[in-house]
């Protein structure tokens, strides 16, 4: 069980480091783009940022928190609806990390760690492994969140990304 003080600290870390990203037109687009179950891509990205920062706190890892937040927020910045029937989306799982990186580099200044987080988050489906500890953390958090988002929809459990997303509106 996560305590309220830690939860509040993590939310503040995400809002501080991700401020420009969270208030960008790209993220406005993600708010209307479904990811897993009824979770939007925006909420999923917030979930991944939250769980990534929580993991580094729990594991007491010395990592670049700002890069973790920004990389996690942008890891699925591919900016299309992968559920629609367009044939170009048949390879979504294999290609979206590269597309997300291209969009993110176009829209935001990114560190090498942030670029690696985005580009390598689909490991092992994309076979090149992450280069940095921060990228492994986000890659792992993404898998946890994808599973939790499906389960949370079935059991009506609230996820942090939904809470933070609503608090920002
Ligand atoms: Fe992804
Ligand atoms: Fe993801």
pLDDT, tens digit (0-9, with 9 covering 90-100), for 116-141: 999 999 999 999 999 999 999 999 99
- Is the pLDDT at 108 greater than 80? The verdict is yes
Instruction: Count how many domains the chain has.
Output: 1
- Encoded tokens for 10: 């993590």
Selected residue with higher pLDDT from 97 and 2: 97
Q: Where are the alpha helices (DSSP H) in the chain?
A: 4-17, 19-22, 25-31, 41-58, 65-74, 92-107, 112-120, 133-155, 160-167
d(CA 92, ligand 1 centre) in Å: 9
Please tell me the distance between residue 77's alpha carbon and the centre of ligand 2 in angstroms: 9
For residues 86 and 26, the model is more confident at 26
Ligand nearest to the backbone CA of 122: 1
Ligand 2: centre distance to CA 35 (Å): 8
Rounded to the nearest whole angstrom, what is the distance from the C-alpha of residue 142 to the centroid of ligand 2? 5
Domain that holds residue 14: 4-167
* Domain at 93, CATH number: 1.10.3210
Q: For residue 150, is the peptide bond before it cis, meaning its omega torsion is within 30 degrees of 0?
A: no
In angstroms, what is the span from residue 97 Cα to ligand 2's centroid?
Answer: 9
Distance 76 CA to ligand 1 centre (A): 5
């Amino acid at each position: 069980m996560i305590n309220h003080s830690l939860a509040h600290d993590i939310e503040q870390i995400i809002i501080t480091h991700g401020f420009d990203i969270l208030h960008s037109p790209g993220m406005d687009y993600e708010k209307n783009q479904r990811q897993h179950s009824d979770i939007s891509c925006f909420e999923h990205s917030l979930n991944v940022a939250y769980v990534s920062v929580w993991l580094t706190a729990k594991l007491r890892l010395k990592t670049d928190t700002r890069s973790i937040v920004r990389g996690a927020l942008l890891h699925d910045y591919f900016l299309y609806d992968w559920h629609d029937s367009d044939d170009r989306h048949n390879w979504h799982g294999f290609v979206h990390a590269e597309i997300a990186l291209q969009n993110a580099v176009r829209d935001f200044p990114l560190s090498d760690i942030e670029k690696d987080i985005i580009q390598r988050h689909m490991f092992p489906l994309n076979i090149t492994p992450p280069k940095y500890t921060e990228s492994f953390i986000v890659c792992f958090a993404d898998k946890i969140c994808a599973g939790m988002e499906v389960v949370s929809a079935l059991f009506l459990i609230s996820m942090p990304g939904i809470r933070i997303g609503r608090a920002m509106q």
